[in-house]
Structure 1
Amino acid sequence: MERQVHKKNKKGFKILLVTLLVLISGIVTYGYSIYKNVNKAANTVHSPIDRTPTVKRESDLSLLKRDPFSVLVLGIDEEAGDKGRSDSMIMITVNPEKKSMEMLSIPRDTRTEIVGKGFDDKINHAYAFGGVKMSMNTVEKFLDIPIDYYVKLNMQGFKDIVEAIGGVTVNNDLDFSVGKNHFPVGQISLNGKEALDFVRMRKQDPRGDFGRQMRQRLVIQDVMNKAANISTLWKYTGILEALTNNVETNISFDEMKDMQKYYGDVPQNVEQIQMEGTGEIIDNIWYFIVSEEEQSKIQTQLKEHMKIM
C-alpha cells in the first residue's frame, strides 16, 4: 500500500503547538521585562520526565552540534477529574543538515502494543493508562526511533490560546456543521470555541482522522503565524497566560533558545507523512490497522531523517 507524502514550503521554525519557540525570537527585542515574563512562562510549562527510552541513541543529543531531534506532540482531551486520552498525536523529526522537518500524524485508533501494559490497544489509550511517559514509550516502540521531547496541549484550553491571539483564519475544504456552528467551504474566521469544534469534527468527514488532522494543522499554522506577528506581541500577556495554563513540555527555556539559534533556518521544507492502514473490528472494537510493511517503511523514513540508520 502506498503512502502519500505532501511537501510544503514553510518559513521559520514551526514546531506544532510550541508557540513559545516563535515568541522568543520576537518578544525578547521588546525589552528585559517582557523577556523575563517569557522566561517565567517557559519555566512554568517546563515539566521534565524521568523515563528509560525503549529506543536509545548511540550518543547523547547535542543541540549545539545541531543533531537531528524528535518531538512528540500530544493534544489531550481531558476535564477536571478525568485523566483523558490523547486526542491527537503528531511525531515531528528535525534534520538541520537537510534543512527539513517531517511531520507524521498518528491516527488515534492505531492498534499497537501499549508499552508497560503488555497488550495491544488503541495507541491513544496509552496516555489514559500511564500519562506522557507511557505515550512516549509506546510511540517510541511503534516507530522504532528515540523520542527526545514532548509537548502536551490540553484541547479544552486550546480555545483560550486561539482567543488570546484574536482568533484564526483558515481555508476550509469541507462544508459541515457542529451544533449551531456552520463551517462553509472557503476562507473562514474562527473564535476559540469555533476553532475547537472545527479541529475536533471527524464523523462528518469522509477522510475520518486524516481530515481532522488536516484541519488541526490549518488552525495551528495560523496560530503560529499570528504568534510571530509583531502586532500580536501587544497581546503577549494573554498568550503567555493561555500557554502556561494549557501547555506542558520537557523542553527547557535554554533548549528553546538553542533551537531558535541553531535550528531557526531548518524547516524550509516540511514533509507531511500520511500513515496508511485499514479499519478492522476486533472484539467489537474498531481499530486502525497498520501493516508491518507500512510500519517498516515509515520507521525507515524517520530513521533516515534522524540519521540513526
Structure 2
Amino acid sequence: MKKFLKTFMVAFLVFLVIFGGIITFVLKDDNSKNTLVSNISGLIKGDDSKKDITFLLLGIDSKDVTKAKGQRTDTMMLCKYDDTTGKVSILSIPRDTMATIRGRKNKEKINHAHAYGGPELSVKAVKDLLGIELDYYVRVDYKIVEDVVELIGGVEVDVPMDMKYSDPTADPPLKINLKKGKQTLNGNESLQFLRYRKGYADQDLGRIGAQQQFMSSAIKKALNPLNIIKLPQFVETYIKNVDTNIPLDTIAKFALKAKNVDTENMEMATLPGEAKYISGVWYFVHNKEKTQETVNSMFIEQNVVMDDGEKEKSKN
C-alpha cells in the first residue's frame, strides 16, 4: 500500500522569496531586451492596497501535481502573510478532521474533499469548517521538499526520537533511519523525518508538531540571501511540483515584499480538538469554541460567529 507523506513545508512562502528575487534581477538587468521586463513592471504597478494574503496549502503525493484527481490530501494548512508586519500565521488542519463536504450526505474526513472535487472543494470545506473567507489554494507535491532542502543546504531540526522504519513496497520505497537529536538534514533525510509516523504518542498531532518545527527552520534557511544564486533551480522545482490559483499579479506583489517576512514572528497552531471513535471510524473532532477563538486571533480582524458551514453550504 502506498505510503503518503503526512507532513509538509510551506513551499509557497519559499517561492515568494524566489519569485521576488527573479523579478528584482530581471528589472535590474540593463542588458535584457526581453519583454518580460515590461510585463513584470506592469504587474507590480497595480493596486497595492491589499496588505495580506491568505491561502490553503494542500500537500499531495502525485507524479503530476496538476493531475492529482481523485487523491486525498496528506496535509492541509491555512496560511496568512501580512506584509505590513511581516507576520506569518499557519494553522494546521488534521487530515482526519470531521467536516461538512458540499455534495456529500454525511460529514466525512476533510482530506476526502480533494478526492471528490479537487482543490476547489477543499477550499470550500475549509471555509465551511472555519467560517472564513477563502479563495486561494496552493497545491504542492512532497517531492519539492527534497529538491528545495538540497538547494538551501539542509534544514536543522531536533529529531525527537530515534526514527527507524522500512517499507520496500511503498511507492517510493520507504527507508527511515535517523538518530535522535539536533542535526542538519539533507533532502532525503528531510523526507524520512516528515514521513515517519509510528513513534508519536499523540499520533497525527505529534507529526504536525514535527511538521511545524521543520517549516519554521526551512523558511528561515530559505530566506538566506545567499540562495539568490540558485534561482533557476528553484523555479524549475516550483514549476514541476506546485499548482495554484493565485493570480500572477498578486504573487508578484507579495513576492517583492517577501523580504519583510519576520522569521521570529511566525505564529503556528493546530486546530483545537480531540480524536473520537465514531461509528467504527476514528475522527479528529474540532472544538468549536476554541477553534473560533483561534481563527479570530490568527486570521480575522473582527470576531465572527461560526455556523459549522450550514450557511456556506447554501452558496455556490
Q: How does 1:1-309 map to 2 (within 5 A)?
A: 16-18=10-12, 19-31=14-26, 64-79=48-63, 83=69, 84-95=71-82, 100-179=87-166, 180-261=175-256, 265=260, 267=262, 269-302=265-298, 304-305=300-301, 307=302, 309=304
Report the CA distance shift for 1:35/1:223 in structure 2 as closer, same or farther (over 3 A): farther
Mapped contact 2:83–2:254 kept (Cα < 8 A): no
2:246 and 2:259 mapped to 1: Cα distance? 16
Residue deviations 1:145-190 (CA, integer Å, cap 9, x gap): 0113211111244323333434333222333223343222322232
Aligned-pair identity (%):
31
1:275 and 1:114 mapped to 2: Cα distance? 18
Name the SS of the counterpart of 2:157 in structure 1: strand
Q: Give, in angstroms, the shift of residue 208 of structure 1.
A: 1.9
The TM-score with structure 2 as length reference comes to 0.73
Residue deviations 1:59-83 (CA, integer Å, cap 9, x gap): xxx9721344311111112357864
2:32 and 2:273 mapped to 1: Cα distance? 46
2:164 and 2:33 mapped to 1: Cα distance? 43
| TM-align CA RMSD | 3.3
2:33 and 2:186 mapped to 1: Cα distance? 29
Report the CA distance shift for 1:63/1:177 in structure 2 as closer, same or farther (over 3 A): farther
Work out which of the two has the higher radius of gyration on C-alpha atoms and give 1 or 2.
2
**Structure 2: runs of 5+ lacking an equivalent:** 1-8, 41-45, 167-174, 305-316
Query: 1:56 maps to which residue?
Result: none
The TM-score with structure 1 as length reference comes to 0.75
2:144 and 2:261 mapped to 1: Cα distance? 29
Letter in 2 for 1:211: G
Mapped contact 1:70–1:146 kept (Cα < 8 A): no
Mapped contact 1:161–1:243 kept (Cα < 8 A): no
Report the CA distance shift for 1:247/1:63 in structure 2 as closer, same or farther (over 3 A): farther
Letter in 2 for 1:238: Q
RCO higher in 1 or 2 (8 Å CA, sep ≥ 6)?
1
**Structure 1: runs of 5+ lacking an equivalent:** 1-14, 44-61
Mapped contact 1:102–1:272 kept (Cα < 8 A): yes
Q: Give, in angstroms, the shift of residue 245 of structure 1.
A: 0.5
Report the CA distance shift for 1:261/1:23 in structure 2 as closer, same or farther (over 3 A): closer
Name the SS of the counterpart of 2:139 in structure 1: strand
Name the SS of the counterpart of 2:74 in structure 1: strand
Name the SS of the counterpart of 2:272 in structure 1: coil
Name the SS of the counterpart of 2:100 in structure 1: strand
1:136 and 1:221 mapped to 2: Cα distance? 24
How many residue pairs are counted as aligned between the two chains? 273
Report the CA distance shift for 1:233/1:96 in structure 2 as closer, same or farther (over 3 A): closer
